[in-house]
Each structure stands twice: as structure tokens, then as C-alpha cells.
Chains A and B, each alone.
Chain A
Amino acid sequence: MAATVTSSATTGKTWDGGNEPMGASYGKMMMWFFIVSDALTFSGFLAAYGFSRFKFIETWPIADEVFNHFPFMHGVDAPMYYVAFMTFILIFSSVTMVLAVDAGHQLKKTKVAVYMALTIVGGFIFLGSQAWEWKNFIKGEYGAIETKGGAILQFVKQGENGSYERVKLADFAAHIETDRINNTRSHGIWFEDAAALPSFTVEEVAKGLEAHPEVLIRTEVIKDKHKTVLSREESLVRIKDAQYVVEGANLIRNEYGHKLFANFFFFITGFHGFHVFSGVMINIIIFLNVLLGTYERRKSYEMVEKVGLYWHFVDLVWVFVFTFFYLV
């Protein structure tokens, strides 16, 4: 009994484990200490992200230009709204979780079950949203060129209001007949698939740039809060450095800018997403226990409180990920 229930077992037995100097049961305290160590792990990741960003502060991608998709609004520039939605989902599922804990204190089984079910639904919505976010990130939208030095060159043209807008590779690249084929297991020279070929070759992009006088190259360098756009002459010189056509993002290169940007994005949001996933799974287990009446018989809903701590922690981490990936 004492192992699962909080301080009601505090009987003043100093040496037999009955004493709880911190006023919390063993399980709850260990959940807290796990959270402390996990929080330090995330801090390490985010601090490493900060380090790399400060190291390449002049060329780091601008988040608003990367994360600007919203469901059913294709082609509309909508920075921030989608992550704001995800943040609300997570905060709200935190609220339902804390309401479940609150109902647990009053031993109201049905209420606990309903609130936990809502929390689980919130968790699934968040996971789905993150999958969609990853899909957009991996697919990319405009495409870019990587130079021999490893820099990313993007393409822009002057819009009607004078500001530069991005141009897709598909909108200007020339078509040159080639005999390049995508090597797959079925007709490769070895038993493995080659990396998928990009839609265009470097030559096609270079030729397309020459043929379209309105298209200019935008470099990664930030001046006065904007990425630098090269003049027409400079663009034609710079395209000679081109080595790869980059479409979307993977762990090796991405069309948004510095390689580390995508690596940190995948790693940190992925690690967080994995925490959300485990949280949902643990929530489901505890939810089933609530339904079975385990805690009703135990006369204590402390397990709900413990899993609640973990769930709030996941929300807490997202608050920081949201700030450092999307806002700052």
C-alpha cells in the first residue's frame, strides 16, 4: 500500500521507509527526478542548436520562410499559424490532463476517464500534425542548388510590389534530354537502390537561369534581416559553382539552407515527438486501468497524477521547441 499511495502512509516510522521528507511518494519523486534528467537532455540539444546557430548566425535559415504551410491553403504564405495551432492542441491536452488529475483527487472515476480520453485524442492530433509538418519539410517546395563549397542558392524574382518572391525550379529550369536513370534494385548494378534523382540536373537549372532574365539567385547571407539577392551578372557567375540540385530535406542536405538546420529540426522535434508518442501510450494504459477500476479499488488516483506529470513535461518541452525553432 505504501508503495503506491502518497503520504497517508506517513506514520513517523523514520527507518522503515515510512518517512517522506519531501512529502511525495517514491513513485512521484522518481517521476520528478526522471523529468529533471530528461529536461537536461533536451536543454543539451537546444543549447547545441543555439551554439550552431550562433556559429552560423549570418547564414542561418529564416524560420518564417520554411514553415509557412497551412492545411487546405496551398501556396498561401501562412507562417506560424500551423505551429500555433499545434501549441494550442498540446496546451489544451495539458489542461484536460490536469482536470483528470483534479477529478482523481475527488475519486470521480467517470470524470477521470472522460478527461483522460480527451487528453489521448489531443495527443494523437498533435502527432498527426507533426507528421504533416515533417512531410512538408521533407518534400520541400521550391528546390535549390548546392554549390561546391556547400552553400545553398535559392532562386527569386522581383514581384509586382518590388519585393523578391521565391521561384520554383520547375518554373524556369530548361529541359535537356539525358540518359540518366534512377537506379533501382531491379536494374541496378548492385543489390541496392541508388538515391532518388532530383527532377532536374544542374545543367538544366543553369540553362534555365540563363534563359529567364527575371530570375536571380538568393544566397544564404543575411544582411539587414533579409537574405542577400545577387544581381543578374553575379547570379550567372555564381551558378557556375553549382554541384547538386536539392529538393526538400534529408539528413545530408536541405533546400532551406545550412545542413545543420534540418539535422537539428529532425532530431529535436523527432525526439520530442517520440516523447509525445510514449506519453500517449502510457496515457492509454492508465486510461484502461481507470476504466477497469484499478485506482477505484486502490482509493487513490496517484498513477494518473504521475503520468500527468510526464504529459505536462512534454508540453513544457514543446513550449521551448516552439520558441527556439519557430519564433526566435
Chain B
Amino acid sequence: MAHTHESNTKRIWTVFGLLSVITIVEVALGIVKPDFLFKTDLFKMHLLNWIFIILTVVKAYYIMWAFMHLEGEKANLRWSIVAPLVFLIIYLVFILLIEGNYVFDVFQGSQYKWIF
């Protein structure tokens, strides 16, 4: 209870509204799949996927900051949680996806064929 005892209900409902809107937008885009997003590629992924991933990170931010109340914690606690996660996840994903793509290229372009 380092923070004040006043009620945060208004903030909670605002964040719930935001999360709901984002989810609805995601689902709508996932069902409609507009061609100009779905068929335009950027760094090996189509734009629609980039939008989904960015919206997901936005949702994660609101869940962690508002619901898990990181916004009310001391900066050093906040960063000892967020910094390792951000660094390690980006590192891991970067390496594995590059490698996965490389293996795909090997199957695709060399004499070793995925026979299935």
C-alpha cells in the first residue's frame, strides 16, 4: 500500500474499455482480412500480422501497467521486471525466427528437399 487508498475504479473501467476495443478490432481484422494489408509484405510478414503484434504489445502494456499496477510501483522495481523481459524476449525471438527462416531457405533452395 505504498500508493494512496483512493479508488481507481474509473481507471480500471477505462482500461477495460480500451482492451475490449483493441480485441474487437483484432477480431474484425482477422475475419475481414483486407487485401491491401493481407497481401503486402514487410520483413517476411504481411502488414496484418504486424498490426496484430503491435496491438498485442499495446494490450500487454495496459494489462501490466494498469491491472498489475506497475504504474504505481517504484521505478527500480518496474525496470527490474520489464527490462529483462524486453531484452531477453526480443533476443530470443530474433535469433529463433532468423534461424527458422534460414532452415526454410535451405529446404527450399538447396538439393536437400523436404520430401513431404
Chain A interface residues toward B at CB < 8 A? 6-8, 21-24, 29, 32, 35-36, 39-40, 43-44, 47-48, 50-59, 64, 79-81, 84, 87-88, 91-92, 94-95, 97-99, 101-102, 105-106, 147, 149-151, 220, 225, 300, 302, 308-309, 312-313, 315-316, 319-320, 322-323, 326-328
A101 to B68, CA, bound (A): 10
Closest to A29 in B: B77
Given contacts A48-B96, A151-B116, A328-B49, are A91 and B20 in contact (CB under 8 A)? yes
Tally inter-chain residue pairs, CB-CB below 8 A: 154
A59 to B7, CA, bound (A): 52
CB contacts (< 8 Å) of B16 on chain A: these are 91-92, 95
**Chain B: number of interface residues, binned into ranges:** 35 or more
Chain B contact residues: over half helix, strand or loop, or mixed? helix
B97 close to A (CB within 8 Å): yes
CB contacts (< 8 Å) of B76 on chain A: these are 21-22
Given contacts A51-B97, A88-B23, 19 further A-B contacts (CB under 8 A): A8-B1, A22-B80, A43-B92, A50-B93, A51-B96, A54-B44, A54-B100, A54-B104, A57-B101, A84-B27, A91-B23, A98-B67, A101-B69, A220-B116, A308-B67, A313-B68, A316-B68, A326-B30, A328-B53
Shortest distance between the CB of B89 and any CB in chain A (Å): 5
Shortest distance between the CB of B27 and any CB in chain A (Å): 4
Which residues of B (10-61) have their CB < 8 Å from a CB of A? 12-13, 16, 19-20, 23-24, 26-27, 30-31, 38-39, 44, 49, 52-53, 56, 59-60
